[in-house]
Amino acid sequence: MSNRLGLRDRKKEATRQAISNVATRLFVERGFDAVSVADIADEAQVARKTVFNYFPRKEDLVFDREDEVRALVRDALVDRDGRSPVGTFQALMRALVESQHPLFRITERPIHFWRMVSASTVLTARARELQVTLADDLAGMLADGVGRPHADPEARLAATMLMATLVVAYGEALAAFRENRKPEAAFLGVVDRGFTGVDAALAGTPYV
């Protein structure tokens, strides 16, 4: 039974990824507003209803990795081996950049992706909404790590500063790539300064 369930889950994930890949390609080629869910379903050879089963909103086809981000952070914070919550998060982000994890790998593909996002008011709004949501979720995870309520202002301050640092660093990495500079160095340069600010702001709290 467990093997059958495992196979079913793998097939579902493969279908979801295939739909996402098709959607991203079409959006980049034609623009988000010019591509319908029916176009995506036809190209992916699935029913329109199947697309909505995996992605309730059209925007979800573009931003489909936030759950992966949450899982990476949650797992790191659970298994932090005595390191502070903020220090654990910072170490994880540096490791992802240095290992060129797909979330932070800077190539022509993310350049085209973010150009497509910036051309759509719907996607730009959704990107900002996700930044706020991820910061809220991070604040909750940081607070859990020290046994404080999710609304703890110090957790919210830490999470907001950490997320803002990553957004600025990622933008600088994209700019560096376009200018034939080293994107990883640009990313880490901003990250180091931002994380230093977080450490200073949260000094004396259990988060650092």
What is the domain-level CATH number for residue 34?
A: 1.10.10.60
Question: How much is the average pLDDT of 102-128?
Answer: 92
Say whether both 179 and 194 belong to one domain.
Answer: yes
pLDDT (tens digit, 9 = 90+) per residue, 16-45? 999 999 999 999 999 999 999 999 999 999
pLDDT (tens digit, 9 = 90+) per residue, 116-145? 999 999 999 999 999 999 999 999 999 999
Mean pLDDT is lowest, of 8-12, 104-108, 168-172, for 8-12
Say whether both 87 and 180 belong to one domain.
Answer: yes
* Domain assignment of residue 115, given as a range: 66-201
Write the DSSP string, 108-126. HHHHHHHHHHHT-HHHHHH
Say whether both 106 and 184 belong to one domain.
Answer: yes
Of 46, 61, 76, the residue that ends a domain is 61
One-letter amino acid at 90 equals Q
Of 13, 43, 61, the residue that ends a domain is 61
- pLDDT at res. 65: 86
Mean pLDDT rounded to a whole number for the chain: 93
Say whether both 76 and 56 belong to one domain.
Answer: no
Q: With residue 76 as reference, give the H or E element that holds it.
A: helix 66-78
Q: What's the CA gap between 183 and 190, in Å, rounded?
A: 11
Question: How much is the average pLDDT of 78-99?
Answer: 94
User: What pTM value is reported for the model?
Assistant: 0.88
Distances (CA, A) of 177 to 65, 181, 198, 199, 201: 22, 6, 26, 28, 31
Say whether both 23 and 75 belong to one domain.
Answer: no
Q: What's the CA gap between 204 and 154, in Å, rounded?
A: 11
Whether 3 shows a pLDDT value over 80: the answer reads no
With bands split at pLDDT 50, 70 and 90, how would you rate the model's confidence at 84? Answer: very high
Q: DSSP character for 63?
A: S
Q: How many domains does the chain have?
A: 2
Say whether both 73 and 14 belong to one domain.
Answer: no
